[in-house]
Structure formats: structure tokens, C-alpha cells
Amino acid sequence: MGEARVLLRDAAALDATVPAEVERKLTVLELLWNDGFVRKTVIIIFLAAAWEIYGTFLDNPLLFPTFHDTILTMFDKVRDGTIPLRAWASLKVLFMGYAAGIALAAIFTILAISTRIGTDFLETVTAMFNPLPAIALLPLALIWFGLGNGSLVFVLIHSVLWPVALNTHSGFKSVSNTLRMVGRNYGLRGLPYVARILIPAAFGSILTGLKIGWAFAWRTLIAAELVFGVSSGQGGLGWFIFENRNLLDIPAVFAGLLTVIVIGLIVENLIFRTIERNTVQKWGTQS
Amino acid sequence: MAALLDVSDVTLRYKTSSAVVTATERVSFSVDRSDRFVLLGPSGCGKSTLLKAVGGYMRPSEGKMRINGREISEPGADRMMIFQEFDQLLPWKTVLENVMFPLLMTRRLPRKDAEARARSYIEKVSLTRVVDAYPHTLSGGMKQRVAIARGMAMEPDILLMDEPFAALDALTRRTCQDELLQLWAETKFTVLFVTHSIAEAIKIGNRILLLSPHPGRVKAEVVDVDKVSAEDGSAARLEKQIHDLLFADAVTAH
């Protein structure tokens, strides 16, 4: 039987004169290209340029105004206060519907996780109503609640409630058993258990639900405003688009559409991105 | 002196979708203060189920379990669980907040004292460096040490550890075992430790309960385990002895 030998290799001393390249700084261009915001801005600039070129080529402002015409009209309408006022009218109704939808979704999901019949109820009604387009309920809503914000809020609740409830519930269901046991170990139960363990653990899914709900609500609202237009003398963005089409002011129609897109982008990229960065990305539960 | 934890004639059954499974049958043991009590057995001996029952997560179909004379009926912070899974830390809280969380939730301490106590236990597991880090940035071994700090900071009657080092690599596992023993030497906490590794049982425990599988029954209890040592070969002999005892049936059956 022999002994094993340990052969020391002093690699560090040998190569001390030639430091190995451990890290290399990225160039400014590489750094910029790594920023998703920069890449997306480039795409938007490219689309705007394509629009401008096609508009100039077609040369028919009644069918397809150029990008700069649209932007100029938009500036005019923003400066004279029309677009901000209309956008605010739309957003006010949207917030009412969105908040009410989330509150109802919270009640539904809490019922669903506390009892088995509640789960069955939620699963059945989401399966029934989730595929039903909110706008299809508008004729009925007009009969029930009349011309006005009541009908709008009703269809908005319908468009928000189901996706939020569905995602929150599936998020709760996928919370790991270990985390549930940890929460119960500390004597948490009932609402504190939901608030302290389930909601933060399922926050990724809840946020997805809120994003889908927002997108559904926003498009439902604009569409609904197009259908029944103005109530109490002050319409929203949808009515603004409809009105200007009737006046054949097509650049203003495009300006209205662009405003709808811009507000959508702001909510998605500023509000929801910020929430994501400060929650699920910071926690490493979503990349 | 009455035992800290007293388990007598406990039978545990749980329902699957098609059958009722008996996990353990008439298991009895008692754990004294400052014991490092190990439940050892092959998979299927119900050792984890037994630990969960002590944790209050399931009721025994027969028999009684008492801690400090009180019957165990539900989970509680007097019995802190430490799991095998790395996801037992709350990912939305930093290391410090994770350790403080049970102290605050059970209203054991006001926020300032909870923070001081959490920091001192984080120092004990030498993780002061990462006190403000989120769990996803830590290695598996560090996560388990945070979980141990979180359990110990509550200063519970008993720590329940469910194979806490099983998912670690061999080197980290040894470091963690040494650290656990060192922590025990400092604070003399009581721990009920589940493992399927004979070597780990001998290293960690001062008493070992051997369980046989399908259903789990007590086969033997090994006492004075801390008297053996790795240097003179007595630990290796005990390991062989336990191995033969646990697998005697398996050999004759084949």
C-alpha cells in the first residue's frame, strides 16, 4: 500500500506577469443595444418613418394622413384642451370600472380559496363569462342602466372581473405547499394568511391578470364610446374619434387613435413595468 | 422530569385519491429538552409524515402527541419547521425580513427588538454579509442557513427539521452539519431531525429512532450516539450496525 501525493501548482505566481482578462467593459453601443427601451424606441421610429413615407406616397389626407400631419393635429388638439379633456373623461370612467372589477374579483377569489363550493362557483362562472365579449353586453346594459356612465361601468366590470379573478385564482393555486406550511407554522390563517402569504407569493399571476384586465377594459371602453357616444355633453376619446370621422377630419381621427395607443403604452411600459421591476423582478420570481 | 415532546402509540393515516395509506403504526418516543433526536429510516417509513404531525399539519388517527403537556392540535410557532425545499424562504422579503417575519407575525417582539434578535441570529449562521439580499441571490446552503436562523430566532420549544441538508451538495452539507452542531453547543436547543442518511444521523444526533417501512414502525432506539467518534472507528461500526439492522429484512426477503 502506498501513500497518495499532493503536487502543488503555483499557477498564480507563474502567470503574475500576464494578468488574464477576467472582464471586459462593453462599448457604449453594446450597452445601448442591451437596453430594451432603446431597442423598442428604434422600432417605433422605424414604424413612424414607414408611415410618413407611405402617407406622402399616397398623398390622400382623407384616407391616410401623413405622420407629421397627425402629430401636428394632435399638438393642436392637445393645446386647445380637447384631447386631454376627452382622455380624462375616458380615464375617469375606466378607473371606476377597473376598481370595481378588481374589488369584485378579490371577493370572488377569497370565497373560492376558502370553500370548495366557492372554487366550483368561480370556475363555472369564469368559464361561462370570460369568453363573452364585454361589448356584447352593451345593448343590454343600455336597457338596464340607460345612456350614461352606469352602462359603461357595467361592461368595464365585466371585462376586468373575469381575467383578474381567473389569474389570481390560478396564482393562489400554484403557491407551493412549503410556503403554505411556513405561513401556517406562524399561526397565520384567514385574511392575514391571504394578505401575508398568498397574495405576495402569487403576485406574478395577479399582475398578469391586472395587465390583461387593463387592456380589455381600455379597448372595451373606447369601443363602447364609439357605439353610444356622448352622454351628459362630454364624451371620451371614442366619441372624439367618431365625431371627427363624421366631420371627415381624418388627421384628428388618427390623432385620437394615436392618443389611445400612447395612453396604452404609458400604462403598460411606465406603470406596470415599474411595478414589475420593484416586485417580481426584484424578488427573482419572474425574469 | 416529564419529556418535552411525548409521542405515544401514534398511528398516522392519509387519504390519496384511491386509498387510505397508513404511514406509521403505533409509534412511541419521547424527546427531552436539549435532545438532538433523529428519526431515521428508508423512504416509506413515514418519518416525514411523523414530523408533519408533530408540526400540527395532520391529526393522528390513534394515539396522542403532547408538547410541554399540551396536546398538539394545529401548527404553532412553538414548533418551528425547517424544510428540505429551498423555496421555504419568502422570496419577497430580504434575509433580515425573513428572519424577522415570524417574530412579528406572532407578535412575539416589537419591531426594534425583533430586528436586533434577527441580526444576532443571522450573525450566528455567519450571513451578516447578505443581510439585505433577497433569497433568489443566495446559494442553496445559504438559504438553508437563513431558514435555520429564522427557526432559531423564534427560540421555539423544539425545532423540527425535515431533511434540511438533503438537497445540498456533499461539501456544503458537511459544513452545514458542523455549523448546526456548533449552534447547538452555544444554545442547547431541542431539535427533532429527520434524515435517511445513517452517517448524518450519527453525526447530528444524540438519540436515533430507527423506523422500518410500510407501515412505519419503531425498530430500535439508539442512545448515547454522541459518545461515538469518527477517529477511533466507533462511528463506522455503529453505522454498519444500524445499516444491518435497517436492511436485515430486505436481505432475507430477496
pLDDT (tens digit, 9 = 90+) per residue, B145-169?
899 999 989 888 899 999 888 888 8
Please compute, for residue A21, the number of CA atoms within 13 A of its CA located in the half-sphere on the CB side: 2
> pLDDT, tens digit, for every residue of B168-177?
888 888 888 8
- Tallying the residues shown for chain B, one arrives at 254
Rounded alpha-carbon distances, angstroms, from residue A68 to A48, A86, A198, A252, B29? 9, 22, 49, 12, 83
Reply yes or no on whether the pLDDT at B99 is more than 50.
Answer: yes
DSSP H or E segment with residue B218: strand B217-222
Of the candidates B205, B210, B212, which has an alpha carbon nearest to the alpha carbon of residue B235?
B205
A-B Cβ pairs (cutoff 8 Å, strict): 63
Instruction: Suggest the residue from A175, A178, A179, A186 to mutate for an interface test with chain B (most B CBs closer than 10 A).
Output: A186
Q: Is B85 on the interface with A (CB under 8 A)?
A: yes
Distance CA B176, CA A231 (A): 70
Total Cβ atoms within 10 A of residue B47: 27
Highest mean pLDDT among A80-94, A224-238, B201-215, B219-233: A80-94
- Residues in chain B closer than 8 A to A196 (CB atoms): 105
How many C-beta atoms surround the C-beta of residue B207 within 10 A? 19
Confidence category of residue A101, pLDDT binned at 50, 70, 90 = very high
Chain B contact for A188 (CB, 8 A cutoff): yes
B98 touches A: beta carbon within 8 Å? no
Strand partners, B162: B194
Q: How many Cβ atoms sit within 10 Å of the Cβ of residue A149?
A: 18
Q: Is the pLDDT of residue B254 over 50?
A: no
pLDDT at B250: 57
Provide mean pLDDT across the span A225-243.
Answer: 77
Phi (first) and psi of residue A270, to 5 degrees:
-95, -60
User: In Å, what is the CA distance from B90 to each residue of A195, B127, B249?
Assistant: 13, 17, 43
Residue A20, pLDDT above cutoff 70: no
For the ranges A154-168, A207-221, B225-239, the lowest mean pLDDT is seen at B225-239
pLDDT above 90 for A104: yes
Q: Does the distance separating the beta carbons of B105 and A181 come in below 8 Å?
A: no
A281 touches chain B (CB under 8 A): no
Which backbone phi and psi does B78 adopt, to 5 degrees? Answer: -75, -15
| Substitution target from A174, A184, A185, A275 for chain B, most B beta carbons within 10 A | A185
pTM: 0.82
| Three-state DSSP class for residue A153 | helix
Q: Is the pLDDT of residue B253 over 50?
A: no
Strands B217-222 and B36-40: unpaired
Q: Write out chain A residues lying below 8 Å of B92, CB-based.
A: 200-201, 203, 279, 283, 285
pLDDT digits (tens, 9 = 90+) for B189-248: 899 999 988 888 888 888 888 888 888 887 777 777 777 777 787 777 777 877 877 777
List chain B residues with CB under 8 Å of A201.
90-92
Identify the band that residue B93 occupies on the pLDDT scale cut at 50, 70 and 90: very high
> At B175, which amino acid appears?
T
pLDDT at A46 over 90: yes
- Determine the pLDDT at residue A17: 61
Q: Does position B29 have pLDDT exceeding 60, yes or no? A: yes
**Taking CA atoms, what residue in A is nearest to B95?**
A283
For residue A208, pLDDT beyond 90: yes
Confidence of residue A16 (pLDDT cuts 50, 70, 90): low
Closest CA to A234 of A84, A86, A76, A83: A86
Return the half-sphere exposure (C-beta side, CA atoms, 13 A cut-off) of residue A265.
Answer: 10
SS3 state of residue B109 = coil
When CB atoms are compared, the residue of A178, A184, A196 closest to B88 is A178
Question: Which phi and psi (to 5°) does residue A101 adopt?
Answer: -60, -45
Say whether pLDDT at A29 is over 60. Answer: yes
In a 13 Å sphere around the CA of B30, the CA atoms on its Cβ side amount to 13
